[in-house]
């Protein structure tokens, strides 16, 4: 398999991050509020320190672009590990299910080539290598996940970010004719739900989502045969910021991009 050393490293890091989260979940840790109003915990920071040390030791020439790493400069022509140490920090801090560890590997000229997600409370690793498929590892057993089969419009299930309390998502989905029974509340588990065919469409009405929040997911979603783009259908590239009037992000079956694009 291409990039086997990087894949092995990402999987080891994901298992270590999952172990840290399981050990500290509903335990003794400190919660801090960052300048942007979001939460960070001692657990996020512990995983970040682990990543910084291990990346420097094993891949010193590669960059690290993560939510909690101190240097977020992206240098042209450099390969990067892109990491969200603890995706869904608010769920973790509140002692609730719905968090993960997300990471990816970027190669200049090729793009994002590996994506890995770890779901600690389910003992699941979901990962993909570009052009080589999606795999799910649970309880020591690994299976290949086949690409998503086509569905009719009336079979699609749509995600709604669980912690968003406004009406704009319901307004959009209602305008599309989506009944309430086909709208699912989502969190950091959404990629696993898509791999399991439980969820088909995620729309994010946000101008910018940081790369660590989508990089690993993007590789997996695309290897499932699905679309992962800006909401208008334009492609997303690591290291390139969205335009100022970006309408949002769209994850869906490719055959429905024209219908759903805004």
210: DSSP letter: -
Classify strands 63-66 and 80-87 as parallel, antiparallel or unpaired. Answer: parallel
Span 227-245, average pLDDT: 97
Span 201-227, average pLDDT: 98
Q: Check residue 215 and give its pLDDT.
A: 98
d(CA 225, CA 157): 17
Question: And the tokens for 218?
Answer: 């993007």
Residue 7, pLDDT above cutoff 80 = yes
Model confidence over 173-189: pLDDT tens digits? Answer: 999 999 999 999 999 99
Residue 197, C-beta contacts closer than 8 angstroms, at least 6 positions apart: 148, 149
The answer to whether 126 and 116 have CB atoms below 8 angstroms apart is yes
**In this structure, what are the phi and psi dihedrals at residue 206, rounded to the nearest 5 degrees?**
-135, 140
Span 43-54, average pLDDT: 98
Percentage of the residues of the chain whose pLDDT score is greater than 70:
100
The answer to whether 66 and 154 have CB atoms below 8 angstroms apart is no
pTM reported for the whole predicted model: 0.97
The three-state secondary structure class of 106 is strand
List of domains in the chain = 4-145 (3.30.540.10), 153-260 (3.40.190.80)
Which of the four pLDDT bands, split at 50, 70 and 90, describes residue 75?
very high
Which of the four pLDDT bands, split at 50, 70 and 90, describes residue 37?
confident
Span 192-200, average pLDDT: 98
d(CA 196, CA 210): 25
Residue 1, pLDDT above cutoff 80 = no
Residue 27, pLDDT above cutoff 90 = yes
Residue 51, pLDDT above cutoff 90 = yes
Model confidence over 87-133: pLDDT tens digits? Answer: 999 999 999 999 999 999 999 999 999 999 999 999 999 999 999 99
Average pLDDT, the chain: 96
Q: Check residue 36 and give its pLDDT.
A: 86
Max CA distance (Å), the chain = 52
Give the DSSP H or E segment for 86. Answer: strand 80-87
Token pair 């989260």 in the structure block, residue: 21
Residue 140, pLDDT above cutoff 90 = no
């Amino acid at each position: 398999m291409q990039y086997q050393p990087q894949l092995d490293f990402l999987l080891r890091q994901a298992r270590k991050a999952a172990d840290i989260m399981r050990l500290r979940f509903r335990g003794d840790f400190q919660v801090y509020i960052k300048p942007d109003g979001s939460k960070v915990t001692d657990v996020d920071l512990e995983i970040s320190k682990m990543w910084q040390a291990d990346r420097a030791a094993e891949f010193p020439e590669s960059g690290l672009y993560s939510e909690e790493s101190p240097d977020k400069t992206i240098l042209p022509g450099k390969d990067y590990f892109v990491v969200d140490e603890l995706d869904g920090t608010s769920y973790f801090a509140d002692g609730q299910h719905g968090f993960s560890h997300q990471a990816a590997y970027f190669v200049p000229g090729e793009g994002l080539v590996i994506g890995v997600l770890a779901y600690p409370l389910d003992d699941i690793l979901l990962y993909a290598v570009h052009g080589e498929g999606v795999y799910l590892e649970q309880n020591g057993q690994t299976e290949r996940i086949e690409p998503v089969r086509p569905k009719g419009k009336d079979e699609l299930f749509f995600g709604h970010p669980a912690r968003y309390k406004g009406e704009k998502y319901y307004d959009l989905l209602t305008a599309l004719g989506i009944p309430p029974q086909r709208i699912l509340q989502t969190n950091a588990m959404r990629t696993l739900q898509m791999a399991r065919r439980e969820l088909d469409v995620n729309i994010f009405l946000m101008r910018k989502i940081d790369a660590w929040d989508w990089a690993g997911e993007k590789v997996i979603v695309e290897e499932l045969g699905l679309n992962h783009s800006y909401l208008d259908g334009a492609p997303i590239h690591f290291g390139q910021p969205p335009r100022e009037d970006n309408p949002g992000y769209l994850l869906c079956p490719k055959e429905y991009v024209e219908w759903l694009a805004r």
